């Protein structure tokens, strides 16, 4: 045994003696973007359990290394920590790339800190998760009214379209997870098909300050982002359960996310909402129920250098339209508009009868990105959307369950985006877009409001950003878009000739033997070339004060509804007539912002002026009696318009527990004859006082005052109609706005820790505390009924 142990010791000694441990590792640490050296990086050598740092040139040396693997953990302020394993079989030279500007990249923004904005010099406001969760039982348009200058145009209380500085519908771009929403957005009574519970943050950009998204954003851009995924092993989620007294509604939403340290992730989110007939202070709003189901799925892998994502969302909405908004003859129409309450008032019900909408929206997206050293990031994206809209009129017999309007819109989009960030003081971004869209409108037994059409889009843009010094930042951009609309439409020959189309567009007429003499088949084709641009600057006066200035040029071609509408729009309860002669809108918008961010006082003042040539709008022109009833006739017209206004947001912390917040919006709009524009928001201001106590279950309570003045500047589009009962002409007042109103709201919440990883949030709200009767000028159903009365809500949110 003695000889054996001696032999083993000699063998081990000889092995170590024979092993060469004289190898040297020379390394350098550089920035991934521009290759500049990173000085004073910390380098931890796991096998030796020691630290070294890189020198002024980013270089380091490790000597007396043995053959085998060596693991280095490299960290630096402002960098993502990186672990590198290097095989040593001789002297080695190794270049290691770090992302030195990690805090400036959107993908790795720290959760809970201030969110990264989409623009630097445009008027942009961010709604965070905490605010969005308060609107879990409502919709996108309701939540966005938290931002000064953002209002809504409604068809009842369930169809709410956002309005930014007086502009809405096709003038606003809505992006859901970087996909531009395509869902017949042109109609006022077409609410965006978005489940607000799928959003983690929403950016609202006033004006066309984000050319990468589109050049036709005359009103603004709404960017909806899902929850961010972090590279760590985790499983987390939340569930929200809510109920409300008005409409006896209830809602449920849940989200679950799994992520891994290697970058893989998966997430699922679903929601369900149901409301019965809502109630005004004095009566039920019959047939105003809502049922909504939605689900979204995300999966993919994201690392710093590359990644991909697959995303799918589905939403189905069934929405009742106020029963009394559909009338049977001119006398009923006069009575309905002049009456103080709806003509049809029934007991509460969850049933949704005709008139109603059923809308189904599918969205699929696939993206891939890759970073290239000393260059930047390349993004590729394909997305597909399928939007089916059914609108049911009050029809008899076998037609009762057949939609009067049936539209299926399919959209395919390819995007390529390149972000050159070698020098983060001078960024460059450019990209290309191709899109094909097909709208199918099958025969429903009534004249098609919107025809079958195909639409082709191509876009190219370039933007740049210069950080001139610590105080000045400048950006600029240019975009070109080509749009072609190729439509197939039947016209009544009398209307075709009445509007002079036979003289202006004879090339659109297609002779067909199977068409009667009273009809004509046409193939309108329109091509539009659009140029958009923007330039802006930001000046930081000091750490608390800065000024932003921006100019944008936006060009928006007419949409299919503005061109081709020709019949009864059932959910809007009116006849709509488009115009083939409409020219693209050209908007020149100038804006400025002053912001003060202090320890107690915060101020944001936005001012803007928007000159829009060829401004398109709908105006009432009369009444048409049809076999389905008597309906107002609204026609698309054009004028040169000027809009200007101011948005003000002020908050002040009296103490650590008491806060005051004011939001005020003022806007005016006039046509080329200095006459007021239709559908401009009235002056509004809201004030809220909030008490919060973080030491007492993070409790907060707020009382909010909402004051909306009467719109005293409006166009007079009233007209006279024959009253069949009296045989006399009677004025039909469709223009005069309702009186001013004042509402009070209350909201309170508290948060309870259940364990180290779970918490329960309980929130109670009371809207319209005093059950005030009022009508909003921008509610299309204000002619027939009051807005909502008191509503008490209870919400439970479980984080886990």
pLDDT in tens, 602-644: 999 999 999 999 999 998 887 776 666 667 788 999 999 999 9
Domains of the chain (ranges; CATH) run 2-100 (2.60.40.10), 140-155+216-227+235-276+297-799 (2.40.170.20)
Rounded CA separation 444/451 (Å): 12
Q: Find tokens 């002026």 and name the residue.
A: 609
Q: Are 453 and 487 in contact (CB under 8 A)?
A: yes
SS3 547: strand
What is the chain's mean pLDDT, rounded?
89
**Least confident piece of the model among 103-117, 398-412, 670-684:** 103-117
Two tokens, residue 530:
């659009």
Q: In terms of pLDDT, which residue wins out, 41 or 329?
A: 41
Mean pLDDT of 206-227: 91
Strands 42-45 and 50-53: antiparallel
Q: Are 376 and 34 in contact (CB under 8 A)?
A: no
Compute the C-alpha angle 141/142/143, nearest 5°.
95
SS3 617: strand
Share of the chain above pLDDT 70, in %: 93
Predicted pLDDT at 112: 37
Predicted pLDDT at 199: 93
Residue 115's pLDDT band (boundaries 50, 70, 90)?
Answer: low
The candidate with the shortest Cα–Cα distance to 122, out of 173, 161, 170, 182, is 173
SS3 17: helix
Predicted pLDDT at 731: 83
Cβ neighbours of 156 (radius 10 Å): 26
pLDDT at 406 exceeding the cut of 70 = yes
Q: Which helix (H) or strand (E) holds 477?
A: strand 472-492
Strands 699-708 and 741-753: antiparallel
Burial class (CB in 10 A: 0-12, 13-18, 19+), 500: exposed
């Amino acid at each position: 045994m003695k000889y054996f142990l001696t032999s083993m010791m000699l063998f081990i000694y000889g092995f170590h003696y024979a092993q060469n441990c004289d190898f040297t590792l020379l390394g350098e640490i550089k920035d991934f973007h521009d290759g500049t050296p990173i000085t004073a990086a910390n380098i931890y050598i796991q096998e030796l359990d020691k630290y070294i740092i890189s020198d002024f040139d980013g270089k380091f040396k490790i000597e007396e290394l043995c053959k085998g693997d060596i693991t280095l953990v490299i960290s630096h302020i402002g960098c993502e920590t990186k672990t590198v394993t290097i095989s040593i079989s001789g002297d080695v030279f190794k270049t290691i790339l770090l992302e030195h500007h990690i805090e400036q990249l959107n993908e790795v923004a720290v959760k809970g800190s201030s969110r990264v904005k989409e623009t630097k010099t445009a008027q942009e406001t961010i709604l965070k998760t905490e605010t969005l969760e308060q609107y879990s039982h409502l919709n996108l348009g309701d939540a966005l009214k938290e931002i000064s200058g953002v209002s809504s145009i409604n068809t009842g209380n369930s169809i709410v379209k956002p309005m930014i500085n007086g502009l809405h519908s096709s003038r606003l771009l809505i992006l859901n997870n970087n996909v531009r929403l395509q869902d017949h957005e042109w109609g006022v009574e077409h609410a965006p098909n978005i489940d607000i519970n799928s959003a983690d943050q929403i950016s609202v950009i006033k004006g066309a300050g984000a050319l990468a998204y589109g050049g036709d954003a005359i009103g603004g851009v709404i960017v909806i982002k899902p929850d961010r995924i972090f590279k760590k092993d985790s499983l987390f989620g939340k569930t929200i359960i809510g109920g409300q007294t008005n409409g006896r509604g209830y809602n449920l939403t849940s989200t679950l996310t799994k992520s891994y340290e290697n970058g893989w992730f998966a997430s699922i989110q679903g929601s369900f909402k149901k409301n019965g007939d809502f109630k005004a202070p004095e009566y039920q709003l019959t047939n105003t129920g809502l049922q909504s189901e939605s689900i979204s799925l995300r999966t993919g892998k994201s690392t710093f250098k590359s990644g991909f994502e697959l995303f799918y969302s589905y939403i189905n909405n069934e929405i009742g339209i106020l029963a009394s908004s559909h009338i049977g003859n001119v006398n009923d129409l006069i009575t309905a508009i002049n009456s103080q309450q709806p003509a049809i008032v029934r007991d509460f019900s969850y049933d949704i009868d005709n008139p109603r909408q059923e809308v189904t929206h599918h969205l699929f997206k696939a993206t891939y990105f890759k970073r290239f050293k000393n260059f930047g990031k390349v993004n590729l994206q394909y997305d597909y959307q399928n939007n089916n809209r059914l609108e049911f009129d009050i029809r008899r017999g076998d037609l009762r369950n057949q939609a009067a309007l049936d539209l299926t819109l399919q959209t395919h989009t390819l995007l390529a985006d390149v972000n050159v960030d070698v020098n983060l003081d001078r960024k460059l971004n450019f990209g290309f877009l191709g899109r094909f869209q097909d709208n199918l409108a099958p025969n429903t037994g009534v004249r098609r409001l919107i025809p079958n059409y195909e639409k082709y889009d191509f876009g190219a843009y370039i933007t740049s950003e210069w950080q001139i010094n610590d105080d000045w930042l400048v950006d600029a951009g240019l975009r070109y878009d080509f749009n072609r609309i190729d439509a197939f439409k039947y016209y009544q020959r009398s209307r075709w000739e009445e509007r002079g189309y036979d003289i202006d567009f004879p090339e659109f007429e297609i002779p067909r033997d199977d068409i009667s003499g009273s009809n004509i088949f046409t193939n309108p084709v329109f091509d539009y070339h659009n140029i958009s641009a923007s330039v802006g600057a930001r000046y930081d006066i000091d750490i608390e004060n800065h000024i932003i200035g921006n100019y944008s040029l936006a060009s928006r071609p007419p949409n299919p509804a503005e061109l081709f509408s020709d019949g009864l729009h059932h959910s809007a309860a009116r006849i709509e007539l488009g115009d083939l002669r409409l020219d693209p809108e050209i908007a020149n918008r100038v804006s400025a912002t002053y912001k003060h961010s202090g320890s107690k006082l915060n101020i944001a003042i936005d001012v803007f002026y928007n000159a829009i040539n060829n401004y398109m709008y709908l105006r009432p022109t009369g009444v048409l009696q049809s076999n389905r009833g008597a309906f107002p006739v609204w026609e698309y017209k054009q004028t040169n318009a000027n809009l200007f206004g101011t948005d003000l947001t002020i908050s002040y912390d009296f103490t650590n527990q008491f806060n005051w917040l004011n939001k005020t919006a003022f806007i005016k709009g006039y046509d080329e004859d200095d006459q007021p524009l239709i559908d401009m928001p009235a002056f509004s201001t809201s004030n809220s006082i909030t008490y919060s106590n973080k030491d007492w279950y993070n409790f907060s309570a707020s009382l909010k005052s909402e004051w909306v003045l009467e719109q005293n500047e409006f166009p007079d589009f009233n007209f006279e109609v024959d009253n069949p009962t009296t045989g006399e002409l009677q004025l039909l007042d469709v223009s005069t706005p309702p009186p001013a109103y004042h509402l009070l709201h209350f909201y309170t919440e508290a948060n309870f820790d259940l364990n180290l990883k779970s918490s329960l949030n309980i929130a109670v709200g009371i809207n319209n505390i005093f059950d005030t009767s009022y009508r909003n000028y921008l509610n299309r159903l204000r002619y027939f009924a009051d807005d909502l009365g008191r509503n008490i809500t209870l919400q439970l949110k479980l984080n886990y």
